[in-house]
Amino acid sequence: MTNLVEIKLWVRFAARDEQLLSDLWPHVEPELPSIAEQFYARIAEIPEAMAVFSGPDQLRRQHKLLMGWINQLLNGPFDEVYAHNRRRVGRRHVAVGLDQAYMFTSMQVIVHALCEIAHQQLPAARALETIHAIHKVATLDLSLMTESFMDVQQDERVVLAERQMLDHLTTAAFLLDAQQRVLHATAAARDLCVQPPKGLPLHQALPEVLVDALSLRDLVLPESGGHRSPTELRLMGQARSFSATCSPISSPVGGRLVQISDHTEALQVARRLEKAESLARMGEMSAAVAHELRNPLASISGAIQVLQATFPPTDPKASIMSKVHQQVRRLDRMVHDLLDFARPPETHLARLDLAEAARQVVDIVAGVDPDVHIDVEGSGSAWADADLTHRILLNLTQNAVAATRGQLERRVLLHIDDHTIRVSDNGPGVPAAVQPSLFEPFFTTRTTGTGLGLAICQTAAGAQGASVFYDGASSLGGASFSVVWVPQPEGVTPA
Ligand code: ADP
């Protein structure tokens, strides 16, 4: 706030001016009603300025106020009380929504009227001096009024900013009155509520499960308060975690501040970490076991083939041997999958013709299961690793082929579009309950499955910056999975 003394110094408002103004007063006093008349007639010409008055009664009151104001303008005393009153007028103008510009224009009307009187009633030299004094006091007045105008605007801006800050706080905070009813709630707090919280006891505004889990009824009581540690609960079908703090606040409305912190994300991250760690341990263990199994399995397989050759095909032992060999092959596939899953993939990225990669896989799979009709459609290329891509497409196509077993006409389609391949089949599709677990290692619904195929696809895709995902029902009626590669890394031009 600007100092009154400072403003006086600026405009050179001195005792001599005070004297000149008070000497003018006897000439002005009889003219006051007519000045007020002129003043409000001028205001009436401007609808925006007129809009702040409620009606004729208020205008009449304003006439009186204006006359008192002119009296002070000429007679002072120009002390701190005067300054305070002038600042209050400014504040009032803000409150009624008057534009700041009208203070300057209205002041000009008064100044003009006073100068006219000085000019007409006083000798020329004195009139000039008095007119200077009028201009000085008008400037003094305007400085004081507009200064408070700005203060109020500033205050309003601060209040608005505080309200916005409160609303954008990510913490759920409730301000309670002395009766533990909600006075104010942040947006995050309102989001937690089951009904608009204002005026309600906290335990009625919040979901019961949250109130019970954090014992909020007790927490808000004046004799208790304190803190509730993070607690897990199920809210709207989701696992969530919340803590709460209640602290008394010294405010005229009394009451307390209750903050409810959401720890769900931290909990999920911790869970994911735990899972990743246990998967990593599982992967290491599996790789070690698989490694140990690989050589004995190869020997067993070789030995069975030698033994098989010694039995004539009609010998019942030949069929037993064939079954044993089948199981050994299954174990071998499992070992192979385990090693693929555990081995960190090496990548050699280059431009890859996706239709060509798809055809190579189809040739292998169709050779094993000639009953399935497998098509490759479209064309495209990607910045990809050939081996890892082969691994992904082989797994997806084998899964698709396996899914069509039991269908009258078995169909699989590998559709290429730009840098994407979609593998679809006409099998039974993936039930909704199974979909969230599809890519989890060791998740399988097949009696002969390892549950590693899709997990391997995901690791192999991730290693090339690609992604693989379940795409929903396919146009063939079964499931469909898509692989999307990065089209072209920056700075690399296609060959
Ligand atoms: P596995 O094939 O050894 O079971 P995967 O990780 O490849 O392991 O697949 C996991 C599960 O996903 C399968 O057991 C099956 O339930 C489901 N699944 C995968 N592909 C398909 C498909 N094309 N149609 C229906 N279900 C599928």
pLDDT at 114 over 90: yes
pTM attached to this predicted model: 0.50
In this predicted structure, what is the pLDDT of residue 319?
A: 86
Residue with the smallest CA separation from ligand 1 atom 7 is: 453
Of 1, 32, 276, nearest in space to 145 by CA: 1
Q: Which residues contact 306 (CB under 8 A, 6 or more apart)?
A: none
For a pocket test of ligand 1, which of 279, 331, 334, 399 has the largest count of ligand atoms closer than 8 A to its C-beta?
Answer: 399
The enclosing H or E element of 482 equals strand 479-484
Residue with the smallest CA separation from ligand 1 atom 11 is: 444
Instruction: Please give the distance, rounded to the nearest whole angstrom, from the Cα atom of residue 368 to the centre of ligand 1.
Output: 18
Lowest average pLDDT, out of 142-156, 324-338, 404-418, 463-477, goes to 142-156
Instruction: Please give the distance, rounded to the nearest whole angstrom, from the Cα atom of residue 348 to the centre of ligand 1.
Output: 28
Residue with the smallest CA separation from ligand 1 atom 2 is: 449
Q: Using H for helix, E for strand and C for coil, what is the string for 368-416? A: HCCCCEEEEEEECEEEEEHHHHHHHHHHHHHHHHHHCCCCCCCEEEEEE
In this predicted structure, what is the pLDDT of residue 225?
A: 63
Residue with the smallest CA separation from ligand 1 atom 21 is: 399
Instruction: Please give the distance, rounded to the nearest whole angstrom, from the Cα atom of residue 453 to the centre of ligand 1.
Output: 7
Enter the tokens of residue 489: 């890394």
Pocket of ligand 1 (CB under 6 A): 395, 399-400, 403, 425, 427, 430, 434, 438, 443-446, 449-455, 478-479
Query: What is the position in ligand 1's atom list of the atom closest to the CA of 425?
Result: 23
For a pocket test of ligand 1, which of 340, 374, 394, 444 has the largest count of ligand atoms closer than 8 A to its C-beta?
Answer: 444
Instruction: Report pLDDT digits (tens) over 362-408.
Output: 999 998 888 999 999 999 999 999 999 999 999 999 999 999 999 99
CA distance 469 to 478: 15
415 pLDDT tier (thresholds 50, 70, 90): very high
Query: What is the position in ligand 1's atom list of the atom closest to the CA of 448?
Result: 3
In this predicted structure, what is the pLDDT of residue 377?
A: 96
Of 66, 113, 112, nearest in space to 89 by CA: 66
In this predicted structure, what is the pLDDT of residue 242?
A: 92
Residue with the smallest CA separation from ligand 1 atom 19 is: 399
In this predicted structure, what is the pLDDT of residue 164?
A: 74
Average pLDDT value for residue range 63-90: 88
First CA to last CA across the chain, in angstroms? 72
CA distance 238 to 1: 55
pLDDT at 483 over 60: yes
DSSP calls for 442-455? T---STT--S-HHH
Query: What is the position in ligand 1's atom list of the atom closest to the CA of 449?
Result: 3
In this predicted structure, what is the pLDDT of residue 2?
A: 55
Q: Which domains does the chain have, with CATH numbers?
A: 4-153 (1.10.490.10), 170-262 (3.30.450.20), 269-342 (1.10.287), 349-485 (3.30.565.10)
More confidently predicted of 60 and 334: 334
Instruction: Report pLDDT digits (tens) over 220-233.
Output: 887 766 888 889 98
In this predicted structure, what is the pLDDT of residue 267?
A: 83
Instruction: Please give the distance, rounded to the nearest whole angstrom, from the Cα atom of residue 445 to the centre of ligand 1.
Output: 7
CA distance 468 to 482: 6
Residue with the smallest CA separation from ligand 1 atom 13 is: 444
pLDDT at 92 over 60: yes
CA distance 39 to 20: 23
Task: Determine what percent of the chain is predicted with pLDDT higher than 70.
Answer: 92
pLDDT at 495 over 50: no
pLDDT at 430 over 50: yes
Q: Which of 85-99, 267-281, 399-413 has the highest mean pLDDT?
A: 399-413
Task: Determine what percent of the chain is predicted with pLDDT higher than 90.
Answer: 38
Mean pLDDT of the chain: 86
Instruction: Please give the distance, rounded to the nearest whole angstrom, from the Cα atom of residue 144 to the centre of ligand 1.
Output: 80
153 pLDDT tier (thresholds 50, 70, 90): low
Residue with the smallest CA separation from ligand 1 atom 26 is: 430
Residue with the smallest CA separation from ligand 1 atom 16 is: 445
Query: What is the position in ligand 1's atom list of the atom closest to the CA of 438?
Result: 12
For a pocket test of ligand 1, which of 438, 448, 456 has the largest count of ligand atoms closer than 8 A to its C-beta?
Answer: 438
Instruction: Please give the distance, rounded to the nearest whole angstrom, from the Cα atom of residue 424 to the centre of ligand 1.
Output: 13
Instruction: Report pLDDT digits (tens) over 328-349.
Output: 888 888 888 888 777 777 889 9
In this predicted structure, what is the pLDDT of residue 152?
A: 67
